Amino acid sequence: MTKLKESIQILQACEDIKEFNLVFGTWGNISVLLEDNNILITPSGIPYDDMREEDLVICDMNGNVLHGNQKPSSELKMHVSIYKKRADVKAIVHTHSLYSSIASATLKEIPLLTEDLAMALGGPIKVTNYQTAGTKELADEVVEKLGSVNAVVLSNHGQTSVGPTLEDAVLSAVMCEKACMLYVKSLEISKSPRVLSEEEIHKMRDAYTTSYRKLREYRE
């Protein structure tokens, strides 16, 4: 496979999610939508520490493997379904991080408690109905409950986070984990922690994306 800049970005993101303590064992996966609309995705069952550029797999939007010697992640259907539904999403990070997993077994929705979460995620995080890992049914649930925000919690499983770049998707994953941690810990102190209203969240998200876009255009 020819060298892709996105391969380096994915290997870096694997390092980053480990650094942020979002990884347990080999579970979780990362993908990027390439310019030709194919998907570069991490392989199934290879530890992040051992993963090399040549282990990454390129698939088309129908889930067919185009390049690579490994099996693509078992959650490929979920990645494909998200890219088909959300034109703004160019990268996806799926992890079984601790607080997202706790929330996945105890909550129906994770309200946002702080400004940074509102800016990064753009809305409260929904929890899917339970579906078996790797299935089309789970992929459909994820797309529905993700809606237009940047993270969703998968019932009795973990979390999936998205972004317009892989850097943004990693940030969404970190903030999803933080959102779950804050809410779970807040519930230990109060039965009804004060949560941000959807109106306030949208206001902060709009301000963030506007200034962020300007900053990015300036850099480019």
Catalytic residues: 75
Q: What are phi and psi of 50, to 5 degrees?
A: -95, -5
Strand partners, 67: 58
> How many Cβ atoms are within 10 Å of 214's Cβ, its own excluded?
10
Could you tell me the CA-to-CA distances from 56 to 49, 69, 197, 206 in Å, in that order? 13, 8, 41, 35
